[in-house]
Amino acid sequence: MIRHIVLLKFKDSVSEADKQSIYQELKALKGHVDGIRAFHAGPNVSVETEMMRGFNDAFWFDFDSAAVRDAYLVDPHHQAAGARIVAHTKGGPDGVIVVDLEFSSAAGQARRA
């Protein structure tokens, strides 16, 4: 499984309604790209605010495999959503951080123990 985590530094002018619209657009990819297990989005609620560096929002997808992640990356719907995100973040691409973590079933169980 691949967990695709995206941290966002939205422009101050971006409303909560705009954020929710972006998240709904992303969530719709779950029914569009086979192998997406889950989608979650919301505000960063860390108490370590000095460490957040303005990345106050996040979303993530869980993909069955790296191949599913790769199909998602080139999907035209993802490309459109990504362009919309970049247009709404401070500094464009500088307002986005992407991290992918790979879990095997055994490794995932060991990490949770």
For the stretch 90-106, pLDDT in tens is 999 999 999 999 998 65
Give the other-Cβ count within 10 Å of 99's Cβ: 11
CA angle 78, 84, 85 (to 5 degrees): 90
**What pTM value is reported for the model?**
0.88
CA–CA separation, 79 vs 83, rounded Å? 6
> 3 pLDDT band (50/70/90 cuts)?
very high
User: Domains in the chain and their CATH numbers?
Assistant: 2-94 (3.30.70.100)
pLDDT digits (tens, 9 = 90+) for 36-73: 999 999 999 999 999 999 999 999 999 999 999 999 99
Which pLDDT tens digit goes with each residue over 5-30?
999 999 999 999 999 999 999 999 99
User: What pLDDT score does 109 carry?
Assistant: 47
